[in-house]
Amino acid sequence: MKFKSVRGTRDVFSPEIELWQYLENTAVALLKAYGFSEIRTPIFEESALFNRSIGEDTDIVEKEMYSFQDKKGRNLTLRPEGTAGVIRAAIEQNLLVQSNIAKLYYLGPMFRYERPQAGRYRQFYQIGAECVGSDNYRRDLEIILWCVDYFAAIGLTGLKVCLNSVGCADCRPAYREVLKKYLQDQTGKLCGDCQRRAVKNPLRVLDCKVDSCREIIFGIPAMQDWLCDACKTNLSEIEADLKKEKVNFIIDKYLVRGLDYYTRTVFEIKSENLGAQDTIAAGGRYDKLVQELGGPPMPAVGFALGLERVSEVRQKQKAVATPGNRIDIFFALLGEQAQNRAAGVIRELRQQRIKVEAVFENKSLKSQMRLADQSGAKFTAILGEEELKKDSVTLRNMQTKEQKDIKLDELSQFLKTAKSEEYNG
């Protein structure tokens, strides 16, 4: 029987996996520069954790979660997003101290039962971060600027920062009633899901992607007209500082997020290189979630980005070359003596983090050079009978086709120098 991957999942391998590694490594380095430390949480949690944090009336909880009972009858769910698990862990492991700011990042797979399409999978990968313990607008700004800096670092262009406020416990209830009343007159024009949402959770209607609902949404009163002074101030301060930082953004008065825990400022970063699923990063403030999950009353803000979508945009834009995914040197070995002599040299190079590939099978030089070319290596070291006599290799630059003899004990320093010159200009 021939097996296939489950619908909505995919295998990631070379050369795409090297791009993923570059995207992850760049993100981790920048997150650390911003003062975040890594946390790894389980892939599954108690279902009640997500019901409570995300909201029982959201599409994620109602239709998209992979939930199951284990052998003891406990209700468990594969994580559909990262924030709830991080906050649960921070509370349980006593990582939250009232006088300190906790800054945590994560990366890994998430799971949602959605209709597979371009940029959307049932198992998908996210990189995200949470900053817990401050209600200062500069923490919101820090999160947004991290995203802007990250996308600049990996060479993405054509991005749009969209900003809005979804209010707080003081001003959102009044807006909910206004929205509910407005939608009552539009019930017949709403899709089936939004007819239910209009009664149970009217803000979710703003997130609907059905065309008939989108037409109605554009006539809905804006949340900004109902914001309390504190929410208005939070949003205006972020706007002012984004302008100072020369970040291009727009206010999208219909922007909401698909999770109920958000309060005040929310944002999305969208790419013009994608279709309908054009959001590559999103986040916002969630000041009540920590307390709702059993922790102390602590404000928080965070974000997540989709690795598949970021990878897709980068490939479409053919952004700057990805460093780190190319073999440094390929050894073409002619005969068993050459293989024996090269084995120790290759290990020493690899211990110095020089990327090496070699052919230890008995293949012709022509065949090995073809493999060297396919590997993308910058250099090929040819080691045969004549080279063994001189304890050297014939080093071929695969780009310029230039060749020269170099002693085996000088090879490591030569490669380090060549790599340094390449990365420095």
Integer Cα distance of 367 and 331 in angstroms? 12
Alpha-carbon separation of residue 7 from 59, 113, 115, 295 (angstroms): 20, 10, 9, 38
The model's pLDDT over 194-245, given as tens digits with 9 standing for 90+, comes to: 878 877 778 778 777 777 777 777 777 788 888 999 999 999 999 999 999 9
79: left (phi over 0), alpha (psi -120 to 50) or beta: beta
| Residue 110 sits in the same domain as residue 182 | no
- Confidence grade of residue 296 (pLDDT, cut at 50, 70, 90): very high
Q: Is residue 255 part of a domain?
A: yes
Separation CA 196–CA 117 (nearest Å): 25
> Smallest Cα–Cα separation from 334: which of 366, 357, 374, 375?
366
- Examine the domain organization and report whether 213 and 259 are in the same domain: no
Identity of residue 305: L
* pLDDT over 90 at 120, yes or no: no
The pLDDT of 295-323, averaged and rounded, is: 85
Question: Over pLDDT 70: what percentage of the chain?
Answer: 95
Task: Please check the confidence at residue 247 and state whether its pLDDT lies above 50.
Answer: yes
**Token code pair at residue 23:** 């995207």
Distance CA 226, CA 202 (A): 15
Residue with tokens 């929310």: 266
Strands (E), 79-122: 102-111
Q: What is the mean pLDDT of residues 276-297?
A: 91
For residue 215, what are its two tokens? 């037409």
Q: What is the mean pLDDT of the chain?
A: 89
To the question of pTM greater than 0.85 for the whole model, the response is no
Q: Tokens 């924030």 correspond to what residue?
A: 83
Residue 282 in domain: yes
**What is the pLDDT confidence band of residue 360, given thresholds at 50, 70 and 90?**
confident
Do 96 and 142 lie in one domain? The reply is: yes
Give the end of a domain, one of 292, 317, 342.
317
Which has the higher per-residue pLDDT, 71 or 216? 71
Give 273's contacts (C-beta < 8 A, 6+ positions apart).
158, 312, 313, 316, 317
**pLDDT at residue number 423:** 47
Let me know whether 177 and 157 are in one domain: no
Q: Classify residue 252: in a domain, yes or no.
A: yes
85 within a domain of the structure (yes/no): yes
Give the total number of structural domains in the chain.
Answer: 3
CA dist 104 → 82, 89, 101, 259, 327 (Å)? 11, 11, 10, 20, 33
Mean pLDDT value of segment 25-54? 94
- Looking only at the bridges linking them, the beta strands covering 123-132 and 75-78 are unpaired
Asked whether residue 253 falls in the same domain as residue 357, the answer is no
> How high is the pLDDT of residue 100?
82
Is 423 among the domain residues? no
Would you say residue 298 lies in a domain?
yes
pLDDT of residue 235: 94
For range 59-71, the mean pLDDT: 88
C-alpha to C-alpha distance for 256 and 107, rounded to whole angstroms? 24
Confidence of residue 424 (pLDDT cuts 50, 70, 90): very low
Strand-by-strand arrangement of the 403-407 sheet: 356-358, 329-333, 379-383, 392-397, 403-407
Q: What is the pLDDT of residue 92?
A: 95
To which residue do tokens 């923490």 refer? 139
pLDDT of amino acid 178:
85
Instruction: Tell me the pLDDT tens digit for each residue of 346-356.
Output: 999 999 988 89
* DSSP code at position 206: G
Task: Measure the CA angle with vertex 65, ends 69 and 94; round to 5°.
Answer: 80
In sequence order, the β-bridge partners of residue 356 are 329
Most confident stretch, 13-17, 96-100, 337-341, 373-377: 337-341
Q: Is residue 323 scored above 60 in pLDDT?
A: no
Average pLDDT over residues 391-401: 94
pLDDT at 179 over 70: yes
Residue 317 has pLDDT above 90, yes or no: no
> Residues 118, 193: one domain?
no
Q: Single out the residue in 317, 351, 378 at which a domain terminates.
A: 317
Q: Nearest Cα to 41, choosing from 5, 3, 2, 95?
A: 95
Same domain? 251 vs 130:
yes
Query: Could you tell me the pLDDT band of residue 32, with boundaries at 50, 70 and 90?
Result: very high
Q: If DSSP codes are grouped into helix, strand and coil, which group holds residue 175? A: helix
Average pLDDT over residues 389-400: 94
- Note the pLDDT tens digit of each residue in 148-170: 999 999 999 889 999 999 999 89
CATH of the domain at 91: 3.30.930.10
Number of neighbours of residue 100 by Cβ within 10 angstroms: 11
Residue 354 belongs to a domain: yes
Write down the pLDDT at residue 318. Answer: 66
DSSP 3-state of 165: strand
With respect to residue 216, please indicate whether it lies within any of the assigned structural domains.
yes
Residues 180 and 281 in one domain: no
In whole angstroms, what is the distance from residue 22 CA to residue 27 CA? 8
List, in sequence order, every residue forming a beta bridge with 76; answer none if it has no partner: 46, 68
Same domain, yes or no, for 142 and 58?
yes
Tell me the β-bridge partners of 127: 107, 305
Is the per-residue pLDDT at 180 higher than 90? no
Is 340 in the same domain as 254?
no
Q: Is the dihedral of CA 199, 229, 262, 92 positive or negative?
A: negative
Task: Provide the pLDDT for residue 145.
Answer: 94
Range of the domain at 351: 329-417
Residues 156 and 37 reside in one and the same domain: yes
56 and 120 within one domain: yes
CATH of the domain at 365: 3.40.50.800
Strands (E), 273-400: 279-285, 300-306, 329-333, 356-358, 379-383, 392-397
